[in-house]
Chain A
Amino acid sequence: MQPSLFPAQVPQTYTVSKLTFLIRKLLEENESLQDVWALGEISNLSRPASGHVYFTLKDSNAALKSVMWKTSAARLNLALRDGMEVEVHGRIGVYEPQGQYQLYADQIRPVGEGALYQEFMRLKAQLEAEGLFDSERKRPIPELPRRIGLVTSATGAALRDILNTLRRRLPLVEVLLAPSPVQGVEAPPALVKAIQLLNYQLPNYELPDVIILARGGGSIEDLWAFNDERVVRAVAASKIPIISGVGHETDFTLCDFAADLRAPTPTAAAELATPITIQDLAATISNLNSLILTHALSVLSSKQSSLESLKSQLRYLSPTRLIQSESQRVDELSRRASSAAFNRIILESKQLEGTQKRLESLSPLAVLGRGYAVVTRKSDGSVVSRVAQASGEMKVRVSDGEFEVKKS
Chain B
Amino acid sequence: MPKQSTKKTEKPVEELTYEEALAELEGIVEILEGEQGQLEEAIKLFERGQALAARCGVLLEAAQLKVKQVAGDDVSAFEEESE
Contacts and interface: CB of A to CB of B under 8 A. Distances in A.
Interface of A: 146, 154-155, 160, 163, 166-167, 171-179, 197-198, 202-205, 278, 281-282, 284-286, 288-289, 291-293, 295-296, 298-300, 302-303
A267 to B, nearest CB: 15
Contact of A171 (B53, B63, B80, B81): B63
A292 B46 contact: yes
B68 A177 contact: yes
How many B residues touch the partner, as a band? 35 or more
Interface of B: 18-19, 22, 25-26, 28-29, 32-33, 35, 37, 39, 42-43, 45-46, 49-50, 53, 56-57, 59-60, 63-73, 75, 78, 80-81, 83
B25 A278 contact: no
B70 A285 contact: no
Nearest to B72: A197
A295 B35 contact: yes
A198 B72 CA distance: 10
Dominant secondary structure of chain A at its interface with chain B = helix
Contacts of B56: 281, 285
Nearest to A144: B19
A174 B75 CA distance: 12
A371 to B, nearest CB: 102
Best-surrounded residue of A154, A167, A175, A299 (most CB of chain B within 10 A): A299
Contact of A178 (B43, B63, B70, B73): B70
A291 B45 CA distance: 12
Nearest to A178: B70
Contact of B29 (A155, A175, A198, A288): A288
B29 A176 contact: no
A209 to B, nearest CB: 12
B67 A163 contact: yes
A198 B70 contact: yes
